Amino acid sequence: MTPARAPLAGLAPITVSPAPAVPVDRVDLALLRMLATDARMSQRRMAREAGMSASAVGERLARLERHGVIRRYSVEVDWATLGYPVVVYLTVTAVPGQDLAAVARAIRELPEAQDIMIVTGDMDLLVRLRVRDHIHLRELLLHRVWQTVGVQRTQTFFALGEVEPKENFTAQLIAALKDQLEQPAEEEGSAGSGPVA
C-alpha cells in the first residue's frame, strides 16, 4: 500500500521563496526610487540626477538585478479599457486530504486568474480574477473552477470600486528606507538594524 501524501506537501515548490536581504546604500535606494517613479527612465538621465556616470549607474542596476532586488521592468495595464473591468476575489477551499498544490496549479492556469495567494484560515486560496461581467464569471465558475478536481467550495466577492491607490507605494517605501539610513548612528544602534546597509 502506498502511503498517503500530505495535502500541503507540494506547496513549497509552487510558492515564491523569499530572497535573502541584500545590502543597499543611499545611492542604490535613490536609483530604485527613480525607477519606481518612471521605470522607463534612461540610465543617462538617472546618472545626471544622481551625479554619477551612466556606466556606474548601469553597474549598480546590474548588481541589483543579479541579486533579485529588481525582479523585472513591467507595464501596468488598465484592464477595464481592454474589456475586463470587473475584479472578483475568489476564495477556494480544497477537499480535505486533496493535494492543494495540484488545485493551486489548476487555478493558476485560468487566464482570468491575476493573483493567487495561499492563505491561512477557513479557506486555502485567495484568487483575484479579472472578468468582463457576471455572465463571464458564471461561465468561469461553472465550466472551469467548479470542474477542478479537489475544489470543495468557493466564495466570490465582487469589488465594487477601488480606493485611490497610494501614489507610488514603492517610491514611498524606498524613501522610508533611505530615511532610516540617514538616521544618526546612535539612533540606528538603539533601534536595531534592518536589511539596509
Q: Which three cell numbers stand for residue 30?
A: 535613490
Where are the domains positioned within the chain?
Answer: 23-74, 79-158
DSSP letters, 148-188, are STTEEEEEEEE----PPPPTTHHHHHHHHHHHHHTS-HHHH
Cα–Cα distance for residue pair 86/100, rounded to 1 Å: 27
Cα–Cα distance for residue pair 2/15, rounded to 1 Å: 26
The hierarchical CATH code for the domain 79-158 is: 3.30.70.920
Angle between helices 26-37 and 169-181 (to 10 degrees): 170
Reading the chain (197 residues) residue by residue, the pLDDT tens digits are 555 667 777 888 888 777 788 889 999 999 998 998 888 999 999 999 999 999 999 999 999 999 999 988 888 889 999 999 999 999 999 999 899 999 999 999 999 999 999 999 999 999 999 999 999 999 999 999 999 999 999 999 999 988 877 777 888 888 888 888 777 654 545 444 445 54
Cα–Cα distance for residue pair 74/28, rounded to 1 Å: 19
Angle between helices 26-37 and 43-50 (to 10 degrees): 130
- If one counts every other C-beta atom within 10 angstroms of the C-beta of residue 141, the result is 18
CATH class entry, domain 23-74: mainly alpha
> To which residue does cell 480606493 refer?
163
- Angle ∠(134,139,145) on CA atoms, nearest 5: 110
Q: What is the pTM of this model?
A: 0.72
